[in-house]
Amino acid sequence: MRKYISVIALSLICGASASADEGMWLPALISERIGDMQAKGFTLTAEDIYSISQASLKDAVVLFGGGCTGELVSPEGLLLTNHHCGYSQIQKHSSVDHDYLRDGFWAMTRAEELPNPGLGVSFLEYMEDVTDKVLKGYEDSMTEEERQALVKKNSQKLIDEAVSGGKGLEASVEPLFYGNKYYMFVYRTYTDVRLVGAPPSSIGKFGGDTDNWMWPRHTGDFSIFRIYADKDNNPAPYSEDNVPYRPKKYFHIAAGGVGEGEFTFVYGFPGSTREYIMSEGVRYISDISNPFKIALRTMRLDIQKKYMDEDQAVRIQYSSKNAGVANAWKKWQGEMKGIVRLGTVAKKQEFESRFMDWADGTEYEGIVPALDSLYKELEPYMYALDYYNESARTIELVQFAQRASALASAGKDSALGAVTDAFFKDYYLPIDKEIFVAVMNSYRENVPADFRPPYFDSTLAVYGGSVGKWADALFSTSVFCDRKAVEALGADDTLALENDPAVEFGREFSSWIGENIRPAVNRLNMEINLLNRDYMRGQMEFQPDKVFYPDANLTLRVAYGHIKGYSPSDGVYYMPFSTIEGIMEKDNPEIFDYNIPQKFRDVVATGDYGRWGEDGSVPVCFIATNHTSGGNSGSPVIDSRGRLIGINFDRVWEGTMSDIEFDPDFCRNISLDIRYVLFIIDKIGNADHLIEEMTIEQE
Ligand code: ARG
Ligand code: GLU
């Protein structure tokens, strides 16, 4: 084991030849990259980025709500993230009477800031290489199960020690490079986080799903929160007595403008990438799973849209759900195209054949063919599981029935009440029923009989083979369609609930999949992971001059690059900046996604942009070459002097395959220019009190 670890340590340090701007680097090891960053224009030090002995930029960055990033911008705990990251909070505070999604929300006093139960933000206290500690007691003779049990036990001990000493501490131990390395991440989590401001969706989601994942972009995708702490600045549950959190560090804002070619650095929490998997793994994604997942989601989106267009109340109910479905749907399309254009599968095959030649006679011999056959064995099971997840598992009534029946049987009345309220607030049965018919028909057509539960076929037979008739019955007889009936449920109804058609549907599917599909998927994935550990190490030995970065896993990373346009296709060049002129060009009251608020039009008509203007306009978004992924939403985009110039919120469509292969010619992250954020807070929100809290540098 030792031998391999030192090989990896070496390859992390030497060799500066990672291809241009690719990479998501661990902050604790940033001293290995700082020379390159400085050569590209950065003027601060590694300690300024990450330090455990002094305040550093990492102390101004948070994991927001377990899937996004946010940054501190005032000494009083003010935090910026994306509108789409705060979306479900904004949505939960909205109703037809006060529709903050539609109209925006601006707390004019601290008392008006809105608490969000369930929302937390986490600061990284420190990260540490714990490989030796986690593998303490490991012997080569151990099976993978034994190794996993050991890793789990040792990790738990480290975690327990790490969190014993303070309020709000949380820790996790994560494998990097497929378990060739382990790092512990220790966080401090604050749970009193209040909504302070959000532009109307017509600004915050301007362009909607039409422009999502695309450039040129004009989305004002930001929202504002504030972290509250107890009197000692420690994490505390929501209380009126809490006070604004005082950060160790907050970003100063550079409002003097940014130019093409300038250095940028994105500091945030990318969720998941798979840069080192073999060709078969990529082929499954681009040729099989992305296409059918896209097709299923197209149906769901069309159905949702039809009803949302008919009724404002339904639009509010389904806005957040719809955006969630649409987002991955569009990303997968770009990703597929990118993989095909780059020829990733063929390139990987070619790499694998060179690797195999090199591996001949070494301990890495045979890994590639073994992986290949495992992937082939996995494919039908993975397909069945993925198909189930994107069809049967998406039925809202079924999900609700399963949760609610469990709570009712356990006699948990108050939890049942809360779940029931939340469900019916945003439920519209005709959408769910129509989706049931569409996706279950596809399920029947596309999933081979051996890979679907016999329950499915036998129930279908009861309805003469008609999914529609099945839906008619299920959506009229299930008790879970009826709010009053659900509220009246108690522990004595357990028996009746077991026979409820929605409960039965959920139970039969999940237990059959659990018994017949999941075990194979888990076993094969475990074997693949195990081989990937060797394959990863082999790749590192095979390419000693290449600099490797660990795949994203929702831990804090540094990505750096520069502001740059790109050419999406022959004869077309995209400039790296957009301005409010582009908003006015797209503006159209007839098109939901492009209907900018009247107030915005009025401000633009005055031409008074205050300090935020540049050359008679206001900059809105820019693109750069930083390697980012899902989870980097809301990340601070930082200039050469460590100041905030923007908020990351997206990638360009032609570059979304960067989770699998990064192409410097096409991969661009999309950021909101911080001047547009300030312009909206100032001129649309009239919330100057927020701007006064910030430190704004005009030069
Ligand atoms: N594509 C961005 C991301 O992956 C933004 C998503 C939210 N916006 C939307 N229109 N669905 O999260
Ligand atoms: N919008 C994405 C997010 O929610 C970021 C875009 C990306 O995937 O790079 O994290």
Which stretch of 306-310, 315-319, 398-402, 655-659 has the lowest confidence by average pLDDT? 315-319
Q: Which of 85, 209, 212, 670 to mutate to test the pocket of ligand 1 (most atoms within 8 A of CB)?
A: 212
pLDDT of res. 605: 96
- For residue range 300-320, what is the model confidence (pLDDT) as tens digits? 999 999 999 999 999 989 988
pLDDT band at 96 (very low <50, low <70, confident <90, very high): confident
633 close to 647: Cβ distance less than 8 angstroms: no
Give the ligand 2 atom nearest the CA of 327.
1
**Residue type (1 letter), 27:** P
Query: Mean pLDDT across the stretch 658-662?
Result: 97
Q: Is the CB of 553 under 6 A from ligand 2?
A: no
- CA of 256 relative to ligand 2 center, distance in Å: 26
Selected catalytic residue, list 21, 48, 56, 84: 84
Q: Cα–Cα distances in Å, from 279 out to 155, 165, 348, 378, 520?
A: 32, 46, 5, 14, 21
Residues with CB under 6 A from ligand 1: 84, 205, 208-209, 212-213, 323, 326-327, 630, 633, 650
pLDDT of 140 above 60: yes
Greatest CA separation found in the chain?
A: 76
Q: Is there a catalytic annotation at residue 84?
A: yes
pLDDT band at 19 (very low <50, low <70, confident <90, very high): low
pLDDT of 17 above 50: no
pLDDT of 1 above 90: no
What's the N-to-C CA distance of the chain in angstroms?
52
- CA of 651 relative to ligand 1 center, distance in Å: 9
Ligand nearest to the CA of 213: 1
Query: Mean pLDDT across the stretch 580-589?
Result: 97
Residue-wise over 503-536: b if at least 16 C-beta within 10 A, else e? bbbbbbbbebbeebbbebbeebeebbebbbbbbb
Q: Is the CB of 651 under 6 A from ligand 2?
A: yes
- CA of 319 relative to ligand 1 center, distance in Å: 12
**Residue type (1 letter), 140:** D
Q: Where does 447-478 have alpha helices with state H? A: 454-462, 467-477
For ligand 1, atom 5, name the residue with the nearest CA. Answer: 650
Strand residue runs (E) in 523-604: 557-562, 577-579
pLDDT band at 280 (very low <50, low <70, confident <90, very high): very high
pLDDT of 685 above 60: yes
Side-chain-side CA neighbours of 307 within 13 Å: the count stands at 20
Q: Cα–Cα distances in Å, from 386 out to 279, 334, 474, 503?
A: 19, 19, 24, 21
Please tell me the distance from the alpha carbon of residue 624 to that of residue 560, in angstroms, as a whole number: 9
- For residue range 488-538, what is the model confidence (pLDDT) as tens digits? 887 788 878 889 999 999 999 999 999 999 999 999 999 999 999 999 999
- For residue range 248-257, what is the model confidence (pLDDT) as tens digits? 999 999 999 8
For ligand 2, atom 9, name the residue with the nearest CA. Answer: 629
Please tell me the distance from the alpha carbon of residue 210 to that of residue 208, in angstroms, as a whole number: 5
- For residue range 323-333, what is the model confidence (pLDDT) as tens digits? 889 999 999 99
pLDDT of res. 15: 39
Query: Mean pLDDT across the stretch 173-198?
Result: 97
- For residue range 293-302, what is the model confidence (pLDDT) as tens digits? 999 999 999 9
Query: Mean pLDDT across the stretch 610-620?
Result: 94
pLDDT of res. 152: 97
Selected catalytic residue, list 21, 221, 551, 682: 221
Q: Which of 64, 68, 69, 84 to mutate to test the pocket of ligand 1 (most atoms within 8 A of CB)?
A: 84
The two structure tokens encoding residue 580: 């409010």
For ligand 2, atom 8, name the residue with the nearest CA. Answer: 630
- CA of 635 relative to ligand 2 center, distance in Å: 10
CA dihedral (227, 233, 235, 237) positive or negative: negative
pLDDT of res. 13: 41
- For residue range 348-389, what is the model confidence (pLDDT) as tens digits? 999 999 999 999 999 999 999 999 999 999 999 999 999 999
Please tell me the distance from the alpha carbon of residue 618 to that of residue 203, in angstroms, as a whole number: 14
251 close to 636: Cβ distance less than 8 angstroms: yes
pLDDT of res. 438: 98
Q: Cα–Cα distances in Å, from 4 out to 169, 534, 581?
A: 32, 10, 56
Please tell me the distance from the alpha carbon of residue 183 to that of residue 176, in angstroms, as a whole number: 7
Selected catalytic residue, list 11, 289, 633, 658: 633
The alpha carbon of 398 is separated from its chain's Cα centroid by a whole number of angstroms, namely 25
- Give the total residue count for the chain: 699
Side-chain-side CA neighbours of 533 within 13 Å: the count stands at 17
pLDDT of res. 165: 81
So where are the chain's domains?
Answer: 60-251, 279-519
- For residue range 422-445, what is the model confidence (pLDDT) as tens digits? 999 999 999 999 999 999 999 999
pLDDT of 2 above 80: no
pLDDT of res. 275: 97
Q: Is the CB of 653 under 6 A from ligand 2?
A: no
Strand residue runs (E) in 416-529: none
Q: Is there a catalytic annotation at residue 223?
A: no
Q: How high is the mean pLDDT of the chain?
A: 94
∠ CA 274-277-283, rounded to 5°: 100
pLDDT band at 10 (very low <50, low <70, confident <90, very high): very low
- CA of 525 relative to ligand 2 center, distance in Å: 26
635 close to 268: Cβ distance less than 8 angstroms: yes
Residue linked to tokens 């793994």: 281
Query: Mean pLDDT across the stretch 540-564?
Result: 97
pLDDT of 18 above 80: no
Q: Which of 623, 651, 656, 666 to mutate to test the pocket of ligand 2 (most atoms within 8 A of CB)?
A: 651
- Whole-number percent of the chain with pLDDT over 90: 90
Please tell me the distance from the alpha carbon of residue 620 to that of residue 605, in angstroms, as a whole number: 17
pLDDT of 4 above 60: no
- For residue range 228-242, what is the model confidence (pLDDT) as tens digits? 999 999 999 999 999
Q: Cα–Cα distances in Å, from 15 out to 2, 26, 36, 38, 322?
A: 21, 16, 11, 16, 45
pLDDT of 614 above 80: yes
Q: Is the CB of 550 under 6 A from ligand 2?
A: no
Identify the H or E element spanning 189.
Answer: strand 181-190
